[in-house]
Amino acid sequence: MGMSTHIKGFAPPDERWQQMKTIWDACRAAHIDPPADVERFFDGAEPNRNGQEVDIPHRDWQDDQRQGIEIRTDDIPENVKVIRFYNSW
């Protein structure tokens, strides 16, 4: 089994996140499904109080003896404050 490297960005809760969370909580309290746009906003998962996980555009990179990942800083969404690199096997 090989190793793979992943990248995720995290945006802290903002006003829009809080509005969506309020709708999510109201729907859960009423035992109904949240509207589709709220589900999409949270990627169908329970809202994380630490903020929203955001995909970071990247591409594989390599030269003769090294390989890695490149990220263009212009491609990082403005609301992302943390970028996490992790390996999985």
How wide is the angle at C-alpha 78 spanned by C-alphas 56 and 37, nearest 5°? 75
Cα maximum dimension of the chain: 59
pLDDT of residue 7: 93
Whether residue 70 has pLDDT greater than 90: yes
d(CA 49, CA 29): 18
Parse the chain into domains and list their residue ranges: 4-88
Which residues, other chains included, contact 67 with Cβ-Cβ below 8 Å and sequence gap of 6+? 60, 61
Which tens digit of pLDDT belongs to each residue from 21-65? 999 999 999 999 999 999 999 988 999 888 888 899 999 999 999
pLDDT of residue 81: 93
Which tens digit of pLDDT belongs to each residue from 5-28? 999 999 999 999 999 999 999 999
pLDDT of residue 50: 84
Residue pair 55/11 in contact (Cβ under 8 Å)? The answer is no
pLDDT of residue 61: 94
